[in-house]
């Protein structure tokens, strides 16, 4: 399968988002699903996919620390598109995590918190699929710059499909306005990237779009699309040793 995907990957770079999705649904049927963090790109992806494959399968990682606006958006999307968004949960409740790892794990070891509440639940879900569809774009982070529209995912050992890989930020929002796509109102309050309440803040003027994620740490990814490694080292510690990104 991996060899076949390498061949398909070259051709897919010439396809638009609709063509990529059509190929995904016709190739994998009920063994492919859309993963969304309910961000702007994810809303665009759902809107396009719903026009192509009304019976699409969608899931989201529910860390149980999401913003109320995010939970409300899930409800609105389900009503708008007639889909049921599966909520992927950690095996540990917030209370169990607190007892085992102490209070506010996200503040002391955010990589571990993401592993428990995002990565491991995703790993269990992806083990039931042959392919997953994401809304990542190459322009979002350096780790995503090399993403292909169709590629093999060595982290989770299945096919990864990124129909919006070559889209620009402006393209995403033009689509949202044109098609009246529902989105998280926090985007209108300087939250370009939205995660958990504990690790997300509004972005200040002049800051990078992901500066509001894990503020105070050199961390811009939860690890779903890139290995976390030592990304959660505190900024103050790295500055002391002269480390550069």
Task: List, for residues 197-207, the tens digit of each pLDDT value.
Answer: 999 999 999 88
As a whole number of angstroms, the distance between CA 57 and CA 38 comes to 14
CATH placement of domain 2-191? 3.40.50.620
Sheet of 131-133, strand order: 85-88, 58-61, 32-35, 131-133, 158-161, 150-153
The one catalytic residue in 113, 114, 199, 222 is: 222
Task: List, for residues 149-167, the tens digit of each pLDDT value.
Answer: 999 999 999 999 999 999 9
CA 135-94-77 angle, to 5 degrees, is 35
Whole-number CA gyration radius for the chain: 18
Task: List, for residues 20-58, the tens digit of each pLDDT value.
Answer: 999 999 999 999 999 999 999 999 999 999 999 988 999
- pLDDT at position 212, please? 86
Q: Does pLDDT of 230 surpass 50?
A: no
199 in catalytic set: no
């Amino acid at each position: 399968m991996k060899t076949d995907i390498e061949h398909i990957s070259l051709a897919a770079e010439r396809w638009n988002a609709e063509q990529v999705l059509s190929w995904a649904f016709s190739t994998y049927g009920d063994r492919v699903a859309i993963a969304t963090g309910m961000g702007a790109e994810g809303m665009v992806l759902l809107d396009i996919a719903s026009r192509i494959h009304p019976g699409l399968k969608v899931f989201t990682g529910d860390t149980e620390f999401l913003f109320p606006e995010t939970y409300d958006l899930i409800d609105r999307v389900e009503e708008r598109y007639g889909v049921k968004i599966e909520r992927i949960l950690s095996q540990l409740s917030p209370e169990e995590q607190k007892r085992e790892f102490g209070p506010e794990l996200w503040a002391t070891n955010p990589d571990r918190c993401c592993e428990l509440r995002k990565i491991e639940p995703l790993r269990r879900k992806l083990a039931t699929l042959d392919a997953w569809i994401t809304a990542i774009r190459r322009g979002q982070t350096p780790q995503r710059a090399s993403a292909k529209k169709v590629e093999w995912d060595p982290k989770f050992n299945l096919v990864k499909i990124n129909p919006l890989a070559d889209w620009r930020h402006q393209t995403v929002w033009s689509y949202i306005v044109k098609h009246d796509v529902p989105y998280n109102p926090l985007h209108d309050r300087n939250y370009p990237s939205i995660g958990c309440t504990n690790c997300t803040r509004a972005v200040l003027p002049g800051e990078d779009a992901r500066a509001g994620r894990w503020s105070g740490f050199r961390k811009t990814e939860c690890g779903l699309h890139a290995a976390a490694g030592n990304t959660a080292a505190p900024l103050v510690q790295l500055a002391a040793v002269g480390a550069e990104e």
